[in-house]
Amino acid sequence: MVKRDFETAMVSMGSRGFKSKSAKADMDNGAILTNISTISKTNTVIIGNGPSALALSYLLHGNEPWYSPSEPHPDPVLHRKLLKKFGLSPLSDSQQDVRLYDILRTPKDCNDITSHFPASVSMSYSTAALPLNTLLDTLFRPLVDVDMEESMSRVGWRKTDSDVVPHVILGEEPKAGGQWAGDEVWFGDEDDEESDNGLKTLSYADLLSLPGYSLGDHYKQKYHTDMDPYYRPTRRLVAEYYATYPRKVGIEDVLFPGTSVTNVERINDKSGFNFLVSIKLKSNSGSTSHEAHVIRCRNVVLGTGIFSHRIPPPPVFTPFFKRKLDLELKERTWDNSSAPTNTSKTAQLPLLVVGSGYTAADAILCNQGKRPIVHVYRWDPENRPSPLRGCHPQAYPGYAGVYRQMKDAVFKKQSPTDGIYQGFPNAVVAETRGDGMVTLSIKSEDGTNKETAIRVADIEVCIGRRGRLDYLAPDLCEEIGVQNLDYSNMESLNNTRESPSPLALSRTATSSRRYSSRSRKPMLHPTTSDTAGKVWVRCSSLRERVEQNIEVTANVFIIGSLTGDSLVRFAMGGCVYSAGRIISDNTPIIDSSDSSTMMSETSSMSESEDPQKLSEGKARRRKSKCVVV
C-alpha cells in the first residue's frame, strides 16, 4: 500500500498549538493512493471525511447492523416494537435477529418505533436529539448515561457482499477525521499530551467510537492496556484514531483526502446517475486547489458538518489583520536572516481573545503561561450564559478554570492568575490598528463608557464556527431548503462596536479565508461561480428538513453534525437510515451506450459522456436562485 507523505503539511504552528504530530501519524492519512481522476461514475458520493462519513462507509462496505433479541434492550416497549416492526412476536421469535435496515425503511417506521420515547418511564431518552439518532444511540449504548460500564451494545454486525455499494468519500482535510484532522481545532502542545490543560474531549472516549474498531481498541493497541470507561482522551489521540480507522476496518479504498467539492448539481439522466459532483484537488505542498474533475453519481450524502469555518472577524478588526497579513507575506518573500523576528518586547505583549465559548477557552488554555492574555467576552448569565458554565471543575478543569477567571473579573476579585489574565466582561472592541493598538470601550458602574487603549501582539476572534454549503448549486440549495444564516445573531456584535452588514462582512480582508496548516497562507474556500456568496449553516439550518426525512430531497442525504446533532454518538442514526435507503436502491443499471458495463459500479470516464462538458452546459443555463451573503 502506498502512503502519502503529509509530514510537510503539518509543521509546528507555535503558540497556536498546531504542532506536528508523530511522523508515523503524519505518514498515514488513512487512504490508499488512487487517482480520483480515474473515477468518473460511482453509486454514492459522500462529501466530508468526518466521523459520520467514515461510519457510513463502513455500512456501505457491506457491514450490516442487526438487532439481536436474545439480549433484549432494557426498554421492553422498544424491544417489542423492534420485533413487531419486522412481523415477529417477542414471545415466540426471541431468537431471530432483525436487520435494522428492514425496520427503518421510511421516516414513518422511525416515528412508530420511537413515539414512546418522550413519555418512557423505563428509560430517559434525549429529547434534544433527532428520534432516529436517539434510537441508534440507545441500541449501540443502552443506559450509557446511567452506567457506562454496564452499557452493552444490542447491535451485532454481519458482513455481506450483497450490500456493498460503490462509493467515494471526498474530504478537504488531508487525513480521515473531518474537523479532527483539520487545523481549525486546537490540539495543545505535544508535551501537554497527557496534561489536564482542558484540551481533552468533551465526551468520554467510547462515545467517539465508530463501528468495527473502537477508540478503546485503538487505545489498547497503542498503550497495551485497557482503557478506563470514563477516560476522556486528548484531541490528538482522537485525531489519530480517526486517521487510523479506515485502514483498520478496510474502507481506505474509497477515501480521497485533500479533495474539495466545489459544485454539486442535479441533472436529468435516464441512466439514474443524476448528480454531477465537481471537485478540486489540493496540492500536497499547501493550500491552492488545482486539477478540476467531475464525478457522476446516483446519491449524494452531505457530511460536511457545522464547524468547518470560524465566523469571520467583524470589520473593526480589519486594520489589525490586514497589517498582519501584509507582514506575513513580506516575511515569506524575505530570506530568514532578514525577516523581522519577534523582539522580546513584542513577545511580552498580550494576546487578545474575543469570545466566551469553548474555542475562546481553547485559545486561552493553549497560551496560558506563555504570554499575558486579555480577554473580551460577553457576560450575561441570565439570558445567554457561556457554555463553559456547565463544565464541572473535576471533569473539565481547564474550561472550569477559564470560567472562574471570567467570573472573578466580573466581581473584580483577586485571582491567582492576575497579571497573566485580564478579563473585560461586556467590553466592546471599538478600534484596532495595524500597530497592535486596540481601543476597548468599557461600561462603568455609573453607566458611562470609558475607553482604554492597549497594545497587543495578536488577536484571536473566537465568536463561533459554522459550516458552509457553498458547494451546492443554487437549485439544489433551494430544493433542500437551506436557510442561509443571518449575521445579526452573532456574538461579535456584543463585543465590537460596528453592526456590519453581511455584505460588508464578506468583504473584509480576512472574512472568507481559511489558513493552510503549513503556510498559514490565506486561501479561499472553493466557491462556484453561480454561488458567488457564502452559504453559512449551523445546527438549526437543516433541522426541520431532517426531522421530516434524512433524505432531504430525492437521493440527497444529510449525516453527522449537519443534521443538527453534533455529537459523534448521535451520528449512527442518520448513517444507518441513509445506508438502508442507498442499499435498497442499489439495483445495477445497464448503460445504454455500453451494455457490457454495470453502471452501478465505480467506473472510469467515457468520452461520449464527459461530465465536465455536461456540467458546463448546465451551468450556463442555470439561474442563480440561492440566498447568499
Q: Segment 461-500, which members bind ligand FAD (CB under 6 A)?
A: 465, 471
Please tell me the number of Cα atoms within 13 Å of 613 on its side-chain side: 6
> Is residue 531 within the footprint of ligand FAD (CB under 6 A)?
no
One residue of 28, 137, 172, 265 binding ligand FAD per CB under 6 A? 172
Nearer to ligand FAD, 123 or 572 (CB): 572
* Best CA proximity match to 377, nearest among 216, 542, 495: 495
From residue 590 to residue 619, the character string flagging contacts with ligand FAD as x (rule: CB under 6 A) and all else as - is: ------------------------------
What is the C-alpha separation between 388 and 120, in angstroms, rounded? Answer: 31
Nearer to ligand FAD, 30 or 436 (CB): 30
Query: Alpha carbon of 178 to those of 51, 289, 372, 512, 540: distances in Å?
Result: 7, 18, 32, 19, 20
Q: For residue 624, give every residue at least 6 positions away whose Cβ sits within 8 Å of its Cβ, in sequence order, or none.
A: 474, 530, 531, 532
Give the HSE-up count for residue 164: Cα atoms under 13 Å, Cβ half-sphere. Answer: 12
Q: State the nearest-atom distance from the C-beta of 401 to ligand FAD, in Å.
A: 17
Q: Round to whole Å and give the CA distance between 531 and 354.
A: 30
For residue 397, give the DSSP letter: H
Are 368 and 189 spatial neighbours (Cβ–Cβ below 8 Å)? no
Among 10, 25, 39, 53, the residue binding ligand FAD under the rule CB under 6 A is: 53
Nearest to ligand FAD of 314, 560 (CB atom): 560
Residue in 67, 140, 275, 358 binding ligand FAD, rule: CB under 6 A: 358
Q: Is the Cβ of residue 178 or residue 423 nearer to ligand FAD in the bound state?
A: 178
Nearer to ligand FAD, 187 or 424 (CB): 187
Which H or E element spans position 424?
A: strand 421-425
CA–CA distance, 6 with 540 (Å, rounded to integer): 35
Site for ligand FAD in 564-583 (CB under 6 A): 566-569
Binding mask 20-49 for ligand FAD (x = CB under 6 A): ---------------------------xx-
- How do 465-468 and 513-515 pair as beta strands? unpaired
Contact call for residue 312 and ligand FAD (CB under 6 A): no
The DSSP code sequence of 321-351 is HHHHHHHHHHHHHS-TTTS----HHHHHSPE
Q: With contacts defined by CB under 6 A, how many residues of the chain interact with ligand FAD?
A: 36
Among 40, 44, 201, 541, binds ligand FAD (CB under 6 A): 201
Nearest distance, CB of residue 343 and ligand FAD, angstroms? 33
| Residue 175 CB-density burial (10 A; 0-12 exposed, 13-18 middle, 19+ buried) | buried
Specify the stretch interacting with ligand FAD by CB under 6 A; choose among 196-204, 407-415, 544-552, 579-587. Answer: 196-204
Q: Can you tell me the distance from the alpha carbon of 420 to that of 416, in angstroms, rounded to the nearest whole number?
A: 9
Residue closer to ligand FAD by CB (options 50, 611) is: 50
SS3 at position 430: strand
Overall size of the chain counted in residues = 629
Residue range at the interface with ligand FAD (CB under 6 A); choices 7-15, 23-31, 159-167, 169-177: 169-177
| The only residue of 29, 42, 52, 528 in contact with ligand FAD, by rule CB under 6 A | 52
Q: Does 173 bind ligand FAD (CB under 6 A)?
A: yes
CB of 55 to ligand FAD, least distance (A): 8
Q: Rounded to an integer, what distance in angstroms lies between the CA atom of residue 18 and that of residue 40?
A: 36
Residues 6+ apart with CB under 8 A from 333: none
**Binding site residues, ligand FAD, CB under 6 A:** 47-48, 50-53, 170-173, 178-180, 182, 185, 201-203, 207-208, 260-261, 303-305, 307-308, 358, 465, 471, 560-561, 566-569
